[in-house]
């Protein structure tokens, strides 16, 4: 009877280790998914913060017929 209990405990330990490994893989997958999402959303928004003012300056300079870049 004691041997059966020890055998079941060993089986449970093996299963728990497998579940832990699976949970760690899933955690790492979600982590890299979040990092990828941030890279694909936040970085372009930061880039647009620099591009839009230059675009507005170019459009407004072209509308008045004066290119301010030539005089600086």
For the entire predicted model, the pTM comes to: 0.57
Predicted confidence (pLDDT) at residue 2 exceeds the cutoff of 70: yes
For the cut 80, the answer to whether the pLDDT of residue 70 exceeds it is: no
Q: What is the largest CA-CA distance in the chain?
A: 95
Where do runs of H (alpha helix) occur along the chain? 2-64
């959303």: which residue's tokens? 41
| 18-63 tens-digit pLDDT | 999 999 999 999 999 999 999 999 999 999 999 998 888 888 876 5
Tracing tokens 């299963």 back to the chain, one arrives at: 15
For the record, the structure tokens of 9 come out as 């405990």
- DSSP code of 68? G
Structure tokens at 25: 């893989």
pLDDT of 5 over the 90 cut: yes
């Amino acid at each position: 009877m004691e041997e059966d209990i020890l055998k079941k405990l060993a089986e449970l330990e093996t299963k728990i280790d497998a579940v832990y490994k699976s949970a760690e893989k899933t955690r790492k997958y979600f982590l890299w998914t979040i990092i990828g999402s941030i890279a694909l959303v936040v970085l372009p928004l930061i880039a647009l913060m620099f591009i839009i003012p230059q675009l507005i300056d170019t459009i407004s300079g072209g509308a008045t017929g004066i290119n301010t870049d030539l005089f600086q």
